[in-house]
Amino acid sequence: MIDFARRNHPGRDPGTLALGAAALALALLPVAAQAGAWGVFETRCLAALENLVPPVVAGLRQGVRAGDVTRYALDGGLALWVEHAPGDGLLACAVHDPQGRPVPGFDAWIADAVAAGRYVPVAGGRWHSHQWIEPILEIEKQGGGAGALTLRIVETGLEA
């Protein structure tokens, strides 16, 4: 797999990770389709960017591109947004749920990731990866409850 993005990932060779992450993500796609926003985010966005590979769009209908964002319609009214060179980073991936359904799986995962020191809170609903990957990843949880919910991960331009 060729990584066209010019990034420096010290100590990590994305070549072997890319194949493993892609195989894992494809194997989990049927599960993610039934898992709601968190399951889709974890499989298509989080696992991919944490393993230095692009978001997983395999198996989706053609996305609609508007500027730097390509939007894909998902089951259950969800949407996957893939951003190339967003203003706040290098690459971003988000899952949007217009119904704002709860995501207890995400809440448990981020609590465990903070407790383990992998992510640190930087603001309400925002966390940065901590000393294990460059560029620094930012995880965002926006909205929820009565409004829409968006889970997003972005490769920032920040250095550890």
pLDDT, mean of residues 2-7: 43
Residue 138 resides in a domain: yes
pLDDT at 8 over 70: no
pLDDT in tens, 93-152: 999 999 999 999 999 999 999 999 999 999 999 999 998 887 889 999 998 767 899 999
pLDDT computed for residue 25 by the predictor? 45
Residue 89 resides in a domain: yes
pLDDT at 11 over 90: no
pLDDT computed for residue 118 by the predictor? 95
Residue 83 resides in a domain: yes
Residue 29 · residue 56 · CB < 8 Å? yes
Residue 3 resides in a domain: no
Cα–Cα distance between 128 and 59 in angstroms, integer? Answer: 30
pLDDT in tens, 65-101: 999 999 999 999 999 999 987 777 689 999 999 999 9
Cα–Cα distance between 61 and 57 in angstroms, integer? Answer: 9
Residue 55 · residue 41 · CB < 8 Å? no
Residue 9 resides in a domain: no
State if pTM tops 0.85.
no
Q: How many domains does the chain have?
A: 1
Cα–Cα distance between 127 and 138 in angstroms, integer? Answer: 6
What range does the domain containing 138 cover?
A: 14-155
pLDDT in tens, 17-67: 444 444 444 444 444 444 699 999 999 999 999 998 999 999 999 999 999
pLDDT computed for residue 35 by the predictor? 61
pLDDT computed for residue 134 by the predictor? 79
Q: Work out the angle at residue 116's Cα, subtended by the Cα atoms of residues 137 and 40, and round it to the nearest 5 degrees.
A: 50
Residue 149 resides in a domain: yes
DSSP string, the chain: ----S----TT--HHHHHHHHHHHHHHHHHHHHHSHHHHHIIIIIIHHHHTTS----TTPPPPEEETTEEEEE-GGG-EEEEEES-TTSSEEEEEEETT----HHHHHHHHHHHHTTSEEEEETTEEEE-SSSSSPEEEEEEE-TTS-EEEEEEE-S---
